[in-house]
Amino acid sequence: MPADLLATPDLLRSVFRRHAAGVAVITARGDAGPVGFTATSLASVSAEPPLLSFGVGTGSSSWPAIEAAGHVGVHILGEHQQELAATFARSGADRFAPPTAWRDGPEGVPVLDGVPAWLVGRVVARVPAGDHRIVIAEVVHGDHTGTGRPLLYHQGRFNRLRD
């Protein structure tokens, strides 16, 4: 059977393995402390008003906090931050324990240190989309004074820009 007749999660996964994405960490202040996870779905959505979006699985450990959060933190990871990306993708890890360096940022949102750029967004929608939600947030704070080129993800592993 040709691949174009296989409309399955496998087909989606196989096609997106050929796609490359920048790597971000999303954070929020939960009732039990800071939560966060590594995301490859971050996108800039709208300029006016300034909106961004990302996906989060409703079965993920971060979802209860993201579902309740008024604000979220969005961090662009640098190419030197593979370990940080792995920490925030690892089940059961205390993601905010050392060596993770972070502080309380605007609106009480956990902000990671040493990233090329970060934003705090006010959540304006959580759109149902299968086993995930697409979170839309309006930018209310941020900074981009960090240095470093972005970390990438492709074919199931981290990568970097060539030029």
The site for its own copies (CB under 8 A) is made up of 2-9, 11-22, 24, 40-55, 74, 76, 106, 116-120, 125, 127, 129-132, 134, 136, 139-146, 149-150, 152, 154, 159-163
CB of 26 closer than 8 Å to CB of 74: yes
Q: List the 24-30 sheet strands across, edge first.
A: 33-39, 24-30, 71-76, 117-129, 132-143, 51-57, 43-46
34 or 73: CB nearest its own copies: 73
The tokens describing 46, both together, are: 């709208």
| Cα distance between the two ends of the chain | 40
Task: Give the nearest distance from C-beta 77 to its own copies in angstroms.
Answer: 9
94 or 131: CB nearest its own copies: 131
Task: Give the nearest distance from C-beta 137 to its own copies in angstroms.
Answer: 10
Task: Give the nearest distance from C-beta 94 to its own copies in angstroms.
Answer: 27
